[in-house]
Amino acid sequence: MEAPLPLSIFIVEDNEWYGELLLHQLGRNPDHHVQRFGTARECLAQMAREVPDVITLDYSLPDADGEHTLRQLRERAPQAAIVVISGQEDVATAVALLRLGAHDYLVKDASTGERLWTLLGQVRQQVRLRRENEQLRQQLDARSAGATSPILGTHPSMLRLQELISKAARTTITVSVSGETGTGKELVAQAIHARSERAGRPFVAVNMAAIPRELLESELFGHEKGAFTGAVARRVGRFEEADGGTLFLDEVADLELGLQAKLLRVLQERELVRVGGRQRVAFDVRLVVATHHDLLTEVRAGRFREDLYYRLLGLPIALPPLRERGPDVLLLAEAFVQTFCQRNNLPPRHFGDDAQQRLLAHPFPGNVRELKAVVELAAVLAEGDLIRSPDLSLRGPAPAAGNEGPRTLREETIRLVQECLDVMGGDVLATADRLGVGKSTIYRMIKQRHVNVR
């Protein structure tokens, strides 16, 4: 015999008498936790604190259109069973709402409560299966916890990043990732996809800056045969390729204004029309966008549409530059060098003290991408199993030759930072900006008494 399964149910009904009737009927089961809301606004506010298993939605609410409310509920609670209740029997409206993701459509009458009771039996089985699948996924994650994660780091900013990735993966909310070039924005998108229920579906990445503007619309939305010179056959676009999965739009700020308007319309309607075609094609994608620009600055400058900005904002995730992550640089360097050595059948390599100091002192303007390239080259150049400072091809001052090289480099770095601190009157932030290094690097040097704030 199956154990009782608790269900969380939201009733959104502005008619007080009818709402209390549903509340009484659905609350007869002690395993049902039922709450009633008189407006869409009240329901959405509660959903910021908890997400229900079932939502009954009055189609005619005083503060919101039924279709608009359904879209909002579906976006915030993609797994909830939403049952629309209407006072009118309109087949066209029912079909449209079912296409938008409603679980069912009921006409409001005296028997609605009993029909809801029957529907809850179906929903309960779906919820049970979903929770069992989630438990299985957690067990599999626990078994593979020792495996190397593509996103490494113990800095507080990276621990927060992992939390946000987990939260994003539980829903279909749009995610906007920002950060300097080379910080790993696509890795974040891949991690969200891999942890979500869409993991078995396609992950499609598009770099907007790498595609000629005249071809970008066709790349995104596809084209029909004969749509333009060279279109010798129908071609589906990236939205259709990613159907059921995740679409990652990198460098979205580079999209020209005309195409921004088309993208906004496609996202609002969840349908597209291929270039040169007339047929409307529905799609289902989870969208992750990224840019190294400040999109809000782009909006204020008139280079990015404000309405599209708010459509894409969703859950914002900001990636820190590598220079602000402190010792994470050594953790990443060790992971990169071990992976590279394994793939190339090289004996394990490790970093000497002088190489570690040089890695910690370097600002890495190219971020993680630069570190990976530097480490892989160092693994090739190194003699023996120890990587030394001269093996690191870093931009900036090279270490001096001879046995005193590493020590001279360290002394020169300390001297330069101390001189800049003195000139800036002990202002760490100004010094970091002037030298192009992370403030954490200077704070670490102060803590280790290598430099002083006078």
208 Cα distance to chain centroid: 17
β-strands 203-207, 246-250 pairing: parallel
How far apart CA 51 and CA 80 sit, in angstroms, is: 8
* 221 contacts 278 by C-beta, under 8 angstroms: no
> Which residue in 220, 175, 217 sits closest to 196, CA to CA?
175
How far the first Cα of the chain sits from its last, in Å, is 75
Structure tokens at 355: 């190489």
Q: What 3 state SS string does 198-218 have?
A: CCCCCEEEEEHHHCCHHHHHH
pLDDT at 2: 53
> Which residue in 327, 317, 316 sits closest to 152, CA to CA?
327
How far apart CA 436 and CA 289 sit, in angstroms, is: 28
pLDDT at 118: 82
Q: Using one digit for the tens of pLDDT, what is the confidence trace for 431-443?
A: 777 776 777 677 7
* 94 contacts 117 by C-beta, under 8 angstroms: no
212, 281, 415 from 436: Cα distances, Å: 33, 49, 16
Q: What is the pTM of this model?
A: 0.56
Q: Residue 289 phi/psi, 5° resolution?
A: -120, 155
How far apart CA 377 and CA 337 sit, in angstroms, is: 9
Structure tokens at 110: 């005296």
Residue 329: count of CB within 10 angstroms of its CB: 23
For 77-108, letters b (16+ CB in 10 Å) and e give beebbbbbbbeeeeeebbeebeebbbbbbbeb
pLDDT at 231: 73
* 251 contacts 292 by C-beta, under 8 angstroms: yes
Helices (H), 7-90: 16-26, 40-47, 66-76
What does each of the 454 residues of the chain score in pLDDT, given as a tens digit? 455 678 889 999 988 888 888 888 888 888 888 999 999 999 988 888 888 899 999 888 888 888 888 988 888 888 888 999 887 777 777 778 887 888 888 888 777 878 888 888 888 877 776 665 555 444 444 444 444 456 888 888 998 999 999 999 999 999 999 999 899 999 999 999 999 999 989 999 999 888 888 889 988 998 888 877 777 788 888 999 999 999 999 999 999 999 999 999 999 999 998 988 888 989 999 999 999 999 999 999 999 999 999 999 999 999 999 999 988 899 899 989 998 999 998 898 989 888 888 898 899 988 999 999 999 999 998 888 889 888 998 865 444 444 334 444 566 677 777 777 776 767 777 777 777 677 767 777 776 667 776 5
